[in-house]
Amino acid sequence: MKFKSVAEAFNYYRTHSIEQIERRAAQLKGTIDTDPNADITSINIEIEGLKQAKENLQEQSQEQRSQFNPITGMNFAQPKPQGNVFESAEYRSAFYKTLLGQKLEDQEAQAYKRAMTIMDAERRADAFNTTTDSAAVLPTQTLNEVVGKARDMGGIIKEARAFNVPTRLTVPIGTPATKAAWHTQGATVETEKLTTAAVTFANHELIKILSMSAAVKRMSIDAFESYLVDELTNSVLEAIAEALVNGEGATKGEGMGVLEGVTWTANTNLVEYTTAPDYTDFAKMLGLLKRGYGRNAKFAMNNATLYNQVYTLTDENGRPLFVPDPRNDEIGRILGKDVVIDDYLEDGVILLGNWQYLGWNLAEGILLEASRESSFKSGLVDFRALAIADTQVLVPEAFVQLAEGV
């Protein structure tokens, strides 16, 4: 059956057992994976209702366990709420010691067990189990460092909007609203219907195998973490950075990039030049960018395009088009707009847009597990990093392209 609202789904499932709720979640998972015509909006509503119903049942169970004990005359003491275990120092230490094959202290073992229990429960509840039971999620501190380094890489990934939401769920995206209107006292004001875009992130897998000598067991945790941060940034995050530009979408099992995710039409969102761009082409780009997106828009191109085709352009009075900005971290500006350098763009391709309307998603962070069997003969330890990720153009009308014509 289909539900019209989350409240309707919640009221229906609130009388079911947790096992029944998890079984229904698994059925919905199967529908999403096997039926290309599945009604994602309806499934989103039901999944949210299932989630709320399960949380309600769990809260009721906790309340029942804390009822008055007539023998002792006291209430059962409930454990104090614990913070996010993935952010704890004990879990971080346990995570790396487990990968390195080192012995855990009691508190570390408890934190690691609690984290794995949470992960196992989430796999069952969400019915999205794409990893083995031995895979552990990257500690929050390490993941933040990886994402932070990705931002430091520069390029479009620094400008695009980052998400951390479950796959196959529709996320609403607000678009620029119209301005208020002057009102004559007593006159009727027409109601404006707000329009929003929406994006559904897919569950594409990114996998990277890292091999190190078995002597890694003697590495310190800080040294090993530093190594992993660099490797994950240079592999997983760079793959996402490339997909944001050139990704071809689900048909290739990857994220969708801005070049393939937007339909480019001459004189609508595409400016073409014959042999090399000139000063007026950039003015045309600004003229084609739809109203509301220009305030935070930035130009993007690769390094060769900037210095070989743009750097020397001037207007009729000899004023340069590109103005370097040596005082700040920015590269420089073109007609008042910042320039982003991204070498995943091809030579001669220049984009203008509000990059907050291009997004990338890491659904479960990054999961790691170690194997000491796969490279037994060579004395190596293999580490497998797996990320459930996707990239999508959130609002295509937020971008304009300048490229050489056919």
* CA gap 274, 309 in Å, rounded: 13
Residue 177: predicted pLDDT: 59
* Confidence band, pLDDT 50/70/90 cuts, at residue 406: low
Q: How far apart are CA 26 and CA 9, in angstroms?
A: 16
109 and 147: one domain? no
Rg (CA), the chain: 26
- Comparing CA positions, the residue from 58, 31, 42, 57 lying closest to residue 6 is 42
In-domain check, residue 339 = yes
Q: Token pair for residue 173?
A: 């995206």
Higher pLDDT, 53 or 157: 157
151 and 64 belong to one structural domain = no
pLDDT band at 335 (very low <50, low <70, confident <90, very high): very high
**pLDDT tens, residue by residue, 153-175:** 779 999 999 888 877 777 777 77
CATH number at residue 314: 3.90.1690
- Phi and psi for 381 in degrees, rounded to 5? -115, 130
Spatial contact of 355 and 391, defined as CB atoms under 8 Å apart: no
What mean pLDDT comes out for the span 230-238? 85
Q: Does residue 146 sit in the same domain as residue 122?
A: no
For the full predicted model, state whether its pTM sits above 0.85: no
Domain of residue 63, residue span: 6-73
- Cα 118 to chain centroid distance, Å, stands at 21
Q: Is residue 1 part of a domain?
A: no
Burial class (CB in 10 A: 0-12, 13-18, 19+), 31: middle
Q: Identify the three-state secondary structure at position 300.
A: strand
Please indicate, yes or no, whether residues 299 and 210 belong to a single structural domain of this protein: yes
78 pLDDT band (50/70/90 cuts)? very low
Asked if residue 322 is part of any domain, the answer here is yes
Query: Taking residues 370-396, what's their average pLDDT?
Result: 83
Residue 16 and residue 155 in one domain: no
**242 and 373 together in one domain:** yes
Is residue 191 included in any domain, yes or no?
Answer: no
257 and 380 part of one domain: yes
The span from the CA of 277 to the CA of 246, in Å, is 22
Q: What residue type is assigned to position 154 of the chain?
A: G
197 Cβ partners below 8 Å, 6+ apart? 172, 173, 174, 175, 394, 395
pLDDT > 90 fraction of the chain, expressed in percent and rounded: 30
Question: Phi-psi region for residue 216, left (φ > 0), alpha (ψ -120 to 50) or beta?
Answer: alpha
CA-closest candidate to residue 251, choices 36, 399, 41: 36
369 forms beta bridges with 384
Out of 21-30, 86-95, 388-397, give the one with best mean pLDDT. Answer: 388-397
Structure tokens at 68: 């008055």
The pLDDT value given to residue 376: 66
- Give yes or no: residues 268 and 316 share one domain: yes
* DSSP secondary structure letters along 295-338: TT-EEEE-HHHIIIIITT-B-TTS-BSEEE-TTSSS-EEETTEE
Asked if the structure places residue 261 within a domain, the reply is yes
Q: Do residues 91 and 161 both lie within one domain?
A: no
Question: Could you tell me if residue 359 is inside a domain?
Answer: yes
Q: How many domains does the chain have?
A: 3
Residue 228 lies in a domain: yes
Give yes or no: residues 291 and 163 share one domain.
yes
Instruction: With respect to residue 177, please indicate whether it lies within any of the assigned structural domains.
Output: no
- Of 132-136, 148-152, 219-223, 319-323, the poorest mean pLDDT is in 132-136
Query: 286 and 209 in one domain?
Result: yes
* Cα 405 to Cα 87: distance, rounded to the nearest angstrom: 51
pLDDT of residue 378: 72
- Same domain for 228 and 342, yes or no, is yes
Query: Residue 219: is its pLDDT beyond 70?
Result: yes
